[in-house]
Amino acid sequence: MQPIVFHRVMDAVPAGGWQVAQGPEGLTVLLSGVREGFADGALIDSLKRELAGQGVIVPPVEVRRVPTIPRTIVGKAPLIKSHLPASEVPGSGILREEP
């Protein structure tokens, strides 16, 4: 799946930062600096609709609010990443890992 699918939903979120990660239990969305009153459930619903519209088997989605988005050792904060080896995910999975 192309990252633009996530950007269509996530770029509208009133947050200072975000990251979507695919793990063994589903998708985890990290949000930092979220405006007060933002409904996590609405984001989950939007992501599930977008994924279903792409013909994807929709995994569980969890939203976690964090003070900051974790960075790599070189200081980058990837927006989209996978914690699964490609060999474990048919068709390369939902996400394609960004460097």
Phi first, then psi: give them for residue 62, nearest 5 degrees. Answer: -125, 140
Query: For residue 99, what pLDDT is reported?
Result: 42
For residue range 60-95, list pLDDT tens digits in order. 999 999 999 988 888 888 888 876 666 555 444 454
What are residue 63's DSSP bridge partners?
A: 29
For residue range 10-66, list pLDDT tens digits in order: 999 999 999 999 988 899 999 999 998 999 999 999 999 999 999 988 999 999 999
CA 83 – CA 44 distance, rounded (Å): 20
State residue 98's pLDDT score. 44
In a domain, 27, yes or no: yes
Residue 4: the pLDDT is: 84
| Domain assignment present for 97 | no
The CATH number covering residue 84 comes to 3.30.300
pLDDT given at position 86:
61
Q: Is residue 98 part of a domain?
A: no
Closest listed residue to residue 80, CA positions, set 12, 15, 8, 18: 18
What's the pTM value of the predicted model, to 2 decimals?
A: 0.81
What is the DSSP track for 19-67?
A: EEEEETTEEEEEEESPPTT--HHHHHHHHHHHHHHTT--PPPEEEEE-S
Q: In which domain, by residue range, is 60 found?
A: 4-92
Which two three-digit tokens encode residue 11? 């770029």
Query: How many structural domains is the chain composed of?
Result: 1
Cα–Cα distance for residue pair 83/73, rounded to 1 Å: 16
**Residue 36 falls inside a structural domain:** yes
Judge whether 73 lies within some domain.
yes
Say if residue 2's pLDDT is above 60.
yes
Evaluate whether residue 24 is within a structural domain.
yes
